[in-house]
Every structure is written in C-alpha cells, then in structure tokens.
Amino acid sequence: MKKIFLLLSALMLLGTGLMAQTAEELDKSRDRSKYANDSFKDGETYTVTTPYETVTVAPVKGKKVKNIILMIGDGMGVEQVSCGWVLNGGHLNMDNMQACGYSRTWTYDKLVTDSGAGGTSIACGVKTKYARIGQDAEGNPVKSVLRYAQDKGMKTGLAVTCRINDCTPVDFIAHAVNRKDEPALAAEYVNCGVDWISGGGIEFWRNREDGRDLVKEMVDKGYTFIDDPKDIQGLTKGPVVGLFAPLEMEPALDRGPVLEDCATKAIELLDNKKGFFLMIEGSSIDDWCHRHKVGYSMEELFDFDRTIGKVLKWAEQDGETLVIVTADHATGGLTLIKGSIDERTVNVHFSTKGHNGIIVPVFAYGPHAEDFIGVYENAEIGRRIRNIILKKK
C-alpha cells in the first residue's frame, strides 16, 4: 500500500462562506457513512510519496463502435483532475484520451446540480430538476442509454464504489422524483436485467421493512452473488451481483483495487459478439471533497485513474470500444493554489461544502471519440451515446 503523508501546513481559512450552499444542497445521504463524522487530520497541503505507473496507449484508427465504457468520476472537476496530475508527478492515465470536451452541469431548477440530476442527464440525455432519477423536468420517465444498449442485445454492467442504490448507478435503471427512497431504488435491480452489478449498499437489500431479501431474489433469477472482493477473480460467468459493503465501500487506500478488479472482470464476462455497455463510477472523489479531505479524494481519483488505465489497455487491443471519462459535477470548490510536480505536492483551498457549478471535462478514446469534442450541455453526453448505440449494426 502506498504511503502518504498528510501535512498540516496552514491555518484553515475561515469566513470564506461566499460560495457556501444551503444545507439542502449538501449531499446528506453520505452522512450515513461511518466515515462521515471521523476526524481525519487533513491539512491544506498534501504530498504523494510514491507515484503509480501510468500506461500509454496508441489512438484507435477504426470507426466501428462495438462496446461503450462510460466512466464517471463523481465530483471530478478540472480542479480534481489537475491536482491528481500534479500529485502523480505529471502523469495520469486520462492523458491518453484522444478527444476532450466540456460539459455544462446546471439543472432546470438550480444552477448547481446533484448526482441525481447530473447523472440523469448523462444517462438519459435530458436536462432535469435537482435530485431526479431517470426522469425529465416534467416528471416523465426517460429511457437510459443502458436500456437502449439492452434493446440492441448488448450486455450491460454497472460498477461503483458507493452504494449501488445511490444516484449515479440508479440513474441508469430507475425512475424517481427523488433520490432519497433508497429501499425502492434498490428493489429496481431485481428486474433490471443488468449483467454485472457491483458496489456497496447491501444494507438496502436485506433486512428490509417490506420483508424482501433482494439478494435471494437475484440469486433465484440466476445471478451469482458475491460479498467478498476476493471472489471476483474466480468468477467465470454472469450475471453477477457483488455487494461488498453495508453502505459505501472503505476509502481507496483501505479497500484495495476492488474497482479495477470489478472493471476487469466485468469486461471479461460482458465481452460478446453483440457488444456491451458498462458504466464504471469512481464514486467517492465527491465524498471527500464534501469533507475537504484532499488526500482521501485524490486517492479515490487515483483508484479511478488506475481503473481507466486497465480499461484503456483493453480498449486499445479491442479496437472497437469507445471509452468516455467524465463527471457529473465538481465538488468542494477545490482550488489548486500552488504546489510542485517534482515533489508531488499541492496546496489547495476548498470554498464550499457542497458541489460547485463550473463546467467539467469529457474525455473520449476509441472510435467516435471525436463526437465528444466541444462545449455542450451534460445531456448531450447521453444523447451522443444514444445516437451511437442506435446506429450500431
């Protein structure tokens, strides 16, 4: 495990509440995590002692898209990417992406979005209202790109590090006016037909008030169920549901390469002649920026970027896989004030405990990567993915 040093270098700046958001806008659901109230002594300067190796992949020349891997860094704005790049000594696997665009994240009723609305726009190709899941602004259910992929006979997967019942993954399979009804959202998985499902949040699957055992229901439908990441490697066939924590998974440095392992195994099991759609989320970059823990957030970004490296290596060899890396919004108003690429140090400032409203990056690699160049609304990501799926032979 990588050693990290957290250095308290400056007094916390107080009274910078200009961008502070209302309590309603804070991501309250996270407070049920056992990490919500801990007392990590994180400061404003952070150093990474050992950078990780990044891969180099050649651009793909073909035009045919067989598979689509959509990777969402929750809370991963340009500031988070920039800090990660400095802390890893000027290298990220994301540097390999062939095309770059920017996505505007506002919702109809709020300038600054949440993951429900932000994820819905990416998943379903519509702008919507704050906290909505798979619905447009009028409350109509909207079909996600995952559903379009299923219609084409593609296999599908969702791999996250948060609760699998949380906004970003359920934006692809459910429709709700509010993200908070997690027991109901969890139950949507039973008939979703998704071939790979992995994350945390098993608490909402068992010991439910309605008496249902969703794990048993999934197993009865033919799913292989695992609850220990050690069992990922041994999987030989889908469909799979892997739930590795009661709520969110442990922080990146504690849980190990679960997301990388899930991504690699999911690709192996989903790969078939009709292609697949896989959504992978680095879910917790956001969580730690809410709590102003730059080190923990950067370790989540590194975990996500290492997963990107694995995905890109596979996509390079496959040659018919479009990989998109983006974010639903930025978090924390993170500002990179100074630091050193050589010393892998950043000095940062957070300006809000909530999300912030700047444009976020969209990186793309593989056939049709150029479709994602430009500055556009977040809903365009979903629309462009949908168009690629609909044109698939």
Considering only the stretches 7-15, 176-184, 286-294, 343-351, report the one whose residues sit in contact with Zn ion under the rule CB under 5 A. Answer: 286-294
Residue 123 or residue 240: which is nearer to Zn ion going by CB? 123
User: Of all helices (H) and strands (E), which one includes residue 83?
Assistant: helix 78-87
- What minimum distance in Å lies between the beta carbon of 331 and Zn ion? 5
Residue 118 or residue 295: which is nearer to Zn ion going by CB? 118
Confirm or reject binding of residue 281 to Zn ion (CB under 5 A).
no
Instruction: Choose the catalytic residue: 29, 82, 103, 115.
Output: 115
- What minimum distance in Å lies between the beta carbon of 244 and Zn ion? 21
Confirm or reject binding of residue 171 to Zn ion (CB under 5 A).
no
d(CA 388, CA 351): 38
User: Of all helices (H) and strands (E), which one includes residue 220?
Assistant: helix 214-220
Residue 33 or residue 144: which is nearer to Zn ion going by CB? 33
| Structure-block tokens of residue 175 | 């429709």
Confirm or reject binding of residue 286 to Zn ion (CB under 5 A).
yes
- What minimum distance in Å lies between the beta carbon of 268 and Zn ion? 31
Tell me whether residue 115 is one of the annotated catalytic residues.
Answer: yes
Asked if 367 and 65 count as a contact pair (C-beta separation under 8 A), the reply is yes
Considering only the stretches 22-30, 128-136, 164-172, 298-306, report the one whose residues sit in contact with Zn ion under the rule CB under 5 A. Answer: 22-30
Of how many residues is the chain composed?
393
Residues 290-329, mask of contacts with Zn ion (x by CB under 5 A): ----------------------------------------
- What minimum distance in Å lies between the beta carbon of 290 and Zn ion? 6
d(CA 82, CA 285): 13
Residue 353 or residue 386: which is nearer to Zn ion going by CB? 353
Considering only the stretches 125-133, 138-146, 281-289, 376-384, report the one whose residues sit in contact with Zn ion under the rule CB under 5 A. Answer: 281-289
d(CA 321, CA 223): 26
Count of residues interacting with Zn ion (CB under 5 A):
2
Residues 239-278, mask of contacts with Zn ion (x by CB under 5 A): ----------------------------------------
Residue 21 or residue 47: which is nearer to Zn ion going by CB? 21
Interactions with Zn ion, residue window 25-44 (CB under 5 A): 27
Residue 33 or residue 156: which is nearer to Zn ion going by CB? 33
User: Of all helices (H) and strands (E), which one includes residue 298?
Assistant: helix 294-318
Asked if 315 and 321 count as a contact pair (C-beta separation under 8 A), the reply is yes
Buried b (16+ CB within 10 A) or exposed e, 222-239: ebbbbeebeebeebeebb
Residue 27 or residue 136: which is nearer to Zn ion going by CB? 27
- What minimum distance in Å lies between the beta carbon of 247 and Zn ion? 15
* Amino acid occupying residue 145: V
- What minimum distance in Å lies between the beta carbon of 40 and Zn ion? 18
- What minimum distance in Å lies between the beta carbon of 28 and Zn ion? 10
Asked if 301 and 81 count as a contact pair (C-beta separation under 8 A), the reply is yes
d(CA 216, CA 277): 26
- Which residue is closest to Zn ion by CB? 27
d(CA 238, CA 225): 10
Asked if 245 and 258 count as a contact pair (C-beta separation under 8 A), the reply is no
d(CA 261, CA 381): 26
Indicate the pairing of strand 196-200 with strand 155-163. parallel
Burial of 136 (0-12, 13-18, 19+ CB in 10 A): buried
So which residues are the catalytic ones? Answer: 115
Contact footprint for Zn ion (CB under 5 A): 27, 286
